Amino acid sequence: MSWTLMIHGGAGRLTHETLTPAQHEGARAGLGRALDAGSAVLAAGGAAVDAVEAAVKMLEDDPHFNSGRGAVFTHDGTIELDAAIMDGATRRAGAVAQVSATRNPVGLARAVMEDGRHVPLACSSANWRRRSSVANHAISACSTP
């Protein structure tokens, strides 16, 4: 079976004109790492949803993108993250909004999907995490200089 993995670096106001050459190269390298992570899962026979989660976690951990580590601050100076994931094979989906205590919100969205009681969930990530196996990471891990 053949497969294709496509990713994008997020949405926002950044353009080629507003990035320095170093930022542009860092973003391209980050996209490559995300593709490599997802591709490794698929090449090993893993499920598409596992590949997507692996790729998105790489983007969330990279300060060049505005998800996770490179997130934009709210008006109040806090970080609130959103994420969604869908399994095309089962047509199940999960999403979280306004997460403020989980470094990789895609993992929390997946926990919501696998739990099955909700599709979108907007609540304290600490409250949900107590019922799931998603690791706790200080939100300060998401801010970048």
Q: Is the pLDDT of residue 133 over 70?
A: no
CA 62, CA 128: separation in Å to the nearest integer? 25
Task: Write down how long the chain is.
Answer: 145
pLDDT digits (tens, 9 = 90+) for 27-66: 999 999 999 999 999 999 999 999 999 999 999 999 888 8
CA 94, CA 119: separation in Å to the nearest integer? 5
Reading across the β-sheet that carries 120-122, which strands appear in turn? 81-87, 92-99, 120-122
Q: Is the pLDDT of residue 76 over 90?
A: no
- pLDDT confidence bin for 123, thresholds 50/70/90: low
For the chain, the structural domain boundaries read 21-142
Chain-wide mean pLDDT for the chain? 83
pLDDT of residue 93: 97
Q: Is the pLDDT of residue 140 over 50?
A: no
- What is this structure's pTM? 0.82
pLDDT of residue 117: 82
pLDDT of residue 67: 80
